[in-house]
Amino acid sequence: MYKKIFAVLAGGVLALGSLTSQPAESREMCTDLVVSGSYAYVKAGAGLNTRTLRTARRGEALTMTGTQPRGGWNEVTTSNGTKGWVHDSVIRCRSGVVAKMSCTQVRISGPRGAYMKAQPWMSSKTFRTAPRGEVLNLESPGSPIEYNGWYLLRSGTGTKGWAHNSVLACK
């Protein structure tokens, strides 16, 4: 089993954790969401560098108002009526329904491609942008390496990188 210890600086809090191979899961498109992380920043736009409107707490209900996530960001309305954007990594379907990714190859489905990251989080260095339609292999087919919606992928030339499930589709 693959295991790697990592540290993440998120929202001013250093979080330690471990990364292990596990069956890949991804959030199905749904409109009833819940904050699954300790908290979620509700942003004014789809990106880390936009203004934070408020902080939603773990377990708070959200309703998706946008039809397509943008780079892992979802347009939502919070339980108190605030409209903004939250990232896939801190939300899940309220029903808890997940679908296993059972393919060995993925196609880049994001309208602007996929940012290939050195580590499985948004603030990690982007070392290349995979264009829409490119086909990549899931690392460890049958038991893909996944962390909070990020998948470890391998190109035909053997280059490895992480991409978020919001811009991936099974081939």
d(CA 47, CA 93): 21
Domain locations in the chain? 26-98, 101-170
The helix or strand, by DSSP H or E, that contains position 126, with its residue range, turns out to be strand 126-130
What is the pLDDT averaged over residues 105-118? 87
Q: Where are the beta strands (DSSP E) in 1-103?
A: 3-10, 13-20, 25-27, 32-35, 39-43, 52-57, 61-64, 73-78, 83-87, 91-93, 98-100
Judge whether 26-98 and 101-170 match in fold. yes
d(CA 52, CA 145): 31
Q: What is the pLDDT, as a whole number, of residue 50?
A: 94
Domain 26-98 has CATH 2.30.30.40: yes
Q: What is the pLDDT, as a whole number, of residue 30?
A: 66
Q: What is the pLDDT, as a whole number, of residue 131?
A: 94
What is the pLDDT averaged over residues 137-165? 81
Residue 13 has pLDDT above 80, yes or no: no
Task: Write down the H helix ranges in the chain.
Answer: none
pLDDT tens digits, one per residue of 83-98: 999 988 888 776 543 3
CATH of 101-170, one of 2.30.30.40, 3.90.220.20, 3.30.930.10, 3.10.350.10: 2.30.30.40
